Amino acid sequence: MRQSQSQAARSEQVSRPQLIQSMLDAMRIPDLRGKILFALAMLIVYRFVAHVPVPGVDVNRLRVAFEGSQLLGFLNLFSGGALADLSVAAMGVYPYITASIVMQILTPVLPQLKALSQEGEYGRQRINQITHWLAVPIAFLQAYGTLTLLRQSGVLPGVDFGLNIHLIAILVSMVGGSMFLVWLGEQITERGIGNGISLIIFAGIVSGLPSLIGQGFLLNDQTGGLLLLGLFGFGIIYVIVLFNEAQRRVPVQYGRSVFRGGRMQRQSGSTFLPLRVNSAGMIPLIFSSSVIILPATIASYFRNPLSDDIISRLARLISNSLDPTNLLYWAALFVLVVVFTFFYTLVIFQQQSLAENLQRNGGFIPGIRPGRPTQEYLNRVILRITWGGALFLGVVAVLPFFVTQITDVRALTISSFALLIMVGVALDTMRQLEAQLLMRNYEGFIR
């Protein structure tokens, strides 16, 4: 009787789709269920914080300002709608991400940071602490820049942009909200499942999708365009998954000496070194978007439609050239993404010192001498495969412009940048869940 029941249970599991069965298995394990529920609880807290507004905001003018500015709409997408409400979480975790990127670039350049990075766990903790301290002034600058950008739209009518208590209170509340989100993300990483910072960004983007999709379906005369946009979306997701998982496997052999039977014997083994095609991730897109937005933002401070002096004309020229509706904006974005992809990949690759680690552990690439020849060979390989990753990220960056031109659906503009983030975070979280399931002899999400 028991044998028949167990066979029925196994047959029921086989008949279910693998993804659903893995999710059910994850919720049956007490400690794993606790991690999943803790992560969801922290994300709910984040969404509550995202609706706490800063004082002195004219909500009606704020709504009008976002309806008339594509730049503000672009920034609002990645804050999960918090910027449209000008909440204390309007900047999200991006000041911390900017600080992390700066630290990754400075670590191989500054000898003190390079030495600190080689001190193991203590060095990593110190660098993480410095990153947190660096994120605070970056958050202040970003908050002031955001408020200055909104000031021209009359969103903050009662706020004097001098040194006063009201403005300081707004800045402190925005910086405090951003650092609170960083703390929430670290709690998710430590006590929950997945990378907490990435999950907060993911939740912010996903929370804005229902309103965008609702706006798109309200356009009854653009049903064909909406269907075509959906096909483009599925195609982009497929390509993103393909390039995120693509890697070049460099064969590696290991040889070691073992004392056995009173004499030294030589043993060997083989494995591979995985080099990812898109090893830079989404960092080049963040870099490029920030760089291309900066000139237009600065020019908006000097643009005066009632004046015809040189500064005003130059400011209007920069603003019009780098407007998201202009083809020049997307061409410049494509070039910047390709350049930053190579720059960031090479910086991170040099930090890994793969050739030295292989030689230290007795490993070598067949046909390549250890040491400097191995390093030169790996540099050539990473340069070749990075072309694929760089062009992929460049195309991902400019796809929204061309998809909008083809489908003519402008109310539903889901950035492929946002899709790249969502797909990447979803894959990373699924891998972590799969690892937890496999540790407990369950089947994972990915076969």
The tokens 């672009």 sit on which residue? 74
Sorted by sequence, the CB contacts under 8 Å of residue 299 that are 6+ apart come out as: 314, 315, 316, 318, 319, 322
Domain count, the chain: 2
Paired tokens of 394: 């460049």
Quick one: tokens of 91?
Answer: 């900047």
Cα–chain center distance at 15: 36
- The per-residue DSSP string of 403-445 comes to HHHHH---S----HHHHHHHHHHHHHHHHHHHHHHHHTT---S
Sign for the CA dihedral angle at 368, 373, 378, 381 comes to negative
**Residue 111 lies inside a defined structural domain of this protein:** yes
Most distant CA pair in the chain, distance: 93
Model pTM score: 0.74
Domain residue limits at 398: 219-410
Comparing 41-45, 183-187, 215-219, which segment has the lowest mean pLDDT?
A: 215-219
With 0-12 / 13-18 / 19 or more C-beta atoms within 10 angstroms meaning exposed / middle / buried, residue 77 is buried
pLDDT confidence tier of residue 180, bands split at 50, 70 and 90: very high
Strand partners, 263: 260
* Residue 246 confidence (pLDDT) above 70: yes
Q: Which of 124-138, 238-252, 290-304 is the most confident on average?
A: 124-138
- pLDDT tens per residue across span 334-361: 898 899 889 888 877 877 777 777 777 7
183 and 299 together in one domain: no
The predicted pLDDT at position 45 comes to 92
In a domain, 14, yes or no: no
- Calculate ∠ Cα 347-348-350, nearest 5°: 70
Query: What gap in Å lies between CA 190 and CA 197, rounded to an integer?
Result: 11
Q: Are residues 182 and 51 in the same domain?
A: yes
CB count, 10 Å around CB of 349?
A: 18
pLDDT of residue 1: 42
Per the prediction, the chain carries an average pLDDT of 75
**Residue 7: band (very low, low, confident or very high) from pLDDT cuts 50, 70, 90:** very low
DSSP 54: P
Would you state the pLDDT for residue 164?
73
Q: Could you tell me the two tokens for 74?
A: 């672009």
Tell how far CA 97 is from the center of its chain: 9
Nearest to 374, CA basis, from 386, 382, 383, 365 = 365
- What distance in Å separates the CA atoms of residue 46 and residue 32, rounded to the nearest whole number? 21
The pLDDT of 218-228, averaged and rounded, is: 60
Q: Are residues 69 and 47 in the same domain?
A: yes
Q: Which residue has the higher pLDDT, 287 or 139?
A: 139
Mark whether 122 and 56 lie in a shared domain.
Answer: yes
Residue 103 lies in a domain: yes
Q: Do 192 and 229 fall into the same domain?
A: no
Q: Please state the separation of Cα 173 from the chain's center in Å.
A: 24
Residues 295 and 389 in one domain: yes
Q: What DSSP element (H or E) covers 301?
A: helix 283-302
Shared domain for 83 and 171, answered yes or no, is yes
Whether 327 is covered by a domain: the verdict is yes
Q: What does the pLDDT read at residue 136?
A: 92
Q: What is the pLDDT of residue 221?
A: 55
Does 166 reside within a domain?
yes
Contact 97, 87 (CB under 8 A): no
Q: Write the DSSP assignment of 312-338 as a string of letters.
A: HHHHHHHHHHT-TTSHHHHHHHHHHHH
Residue 279 sits in a domain whose CATH number is: 1.10.3370.10
**What span, in angstroms and rounded, lies between the C-alpha atoms of 171 and 191?**
30
Which amino acid is residue 31, in one-letter code?
Answer: D
Are residue 401 and residue 425 in the same domain, yes or no? no
| Among 175, 173, 92, CA closest to 136 | 175
The answer as to whether 58 is a domain residue is yes
Residue 53 pLDDT exceeds 60: yes
- Residues 363, 375 within the same domain: yes
What pLDDT score was predicted for residue 35? 86
Phi, psi of 358 (to 5 degrees): -65, -45
Helices (H), 1-119: 2-15, 18-28, 30-49, 59-67, 70-77, 94-106, 111-117
Same domain for 180 and 223: no
- Within a domain: 357: yes
Same domain, 212 and 268: no
Confidence at 282, pLDDT banded by 50, 70, 90: confident
One domain, residues 264 and 202: no
Asked whether residue 262 is assigned to any structural domain, the reply reads yes
Specify whether the CB–CB gap between 416 and 397 falls below 8 A. Answer: yes
